[in-house]
């Protein structure tokens, strides 16, 4: 009987065989650097007391993650009261090859607050392009990373 654990730690090579791979943890700086290298991720939040996940595009402003909002979107419900620290969310992005299963994954957990500064909103609107036709961007979320974890899968 084959060792299922060994199979999970291997990836195909071009010759049809397998090569071992390993997972290494990423430190905070490297994880945020990798997050800056992609524009697509998934935000995890609470909707009607249940966990919800939505794919979104993002940009980085320093170490903060900025996500576009528009009226009618479920993400527009993520609004903290003015006196609150924010709403806890998670954000995940990755770049993993579908054939070799090599690459990286980063998960950020932190507080999300609505961006209210009109100048910042205008700057973000220029850089955050929607994937589908939707109303103009009228709001954005800023996620301040608290817990940053990540892993690299390498051969």
Q: Give residue-wise pLDDT tens across range 52-96.
A: 999 989 999 999 999 987 655 566 566 665 566 788 999 999 999
Output the pLDDT for position 134. Answer: 67
The larger pLDDT score, comparing residue 105 to residue 135, is at: 105
DSSP state of 77: G
Q: Rounded distance, CA 76 to CA 154, Å?
A: 38
Task: Kindly state the percentage of the chain with pLDDT values over 90.
Answer: 50
8 A C-beta contact, residue 66 and residue 98: no
The larger pLDDT score, comparing residue 27 to residue 1, is at: 27
For 93-123, what is each residue's pLDDT tens digit? 999 999 999 999 999 999 999 888 899 998 9
DSSP state of 81: -
Q: Are strands 40-47 and 87-96 parallel, antiparallel or unpaired?
A: antiparallel
8 A C-beta contact, residue 139 and residue 117: no
Q: Note if the pTM is more than 0.85.
A: no
């Amino acid at each position: 009987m084959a060792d299922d654990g060994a199979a999970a730690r291997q990836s195909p090579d071009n010759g049809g065989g397998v090569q071992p791979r390993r997972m290494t943890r990423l430190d905070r700086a490297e994880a945020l650097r990798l997050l800056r290298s992609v524009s697509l991720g998934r935000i995890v939040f609470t909707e009607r007391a249940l966990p919800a996940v939505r794919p979104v595009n993002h940009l980085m402003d320093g170490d903060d993650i900025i996500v576009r909002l528009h009226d009618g979107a479920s993400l527009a419900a993520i609004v903290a009261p003015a006196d609150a620290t924010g709403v806890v969310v998670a954000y995940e992005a990755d770049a993993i090859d579908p054939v070799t299963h090599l690459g990286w994954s980063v998960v950020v957990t932190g507080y999300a607050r609505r961006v209210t500064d009109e100048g910042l909103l205008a700057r973000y609107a220029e850089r955050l392009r929607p994937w589908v036709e939707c109303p103009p961007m009228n709001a954005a979320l800023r996620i301040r990373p608290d817990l940053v974890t990540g892993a690299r899968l390498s051969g």
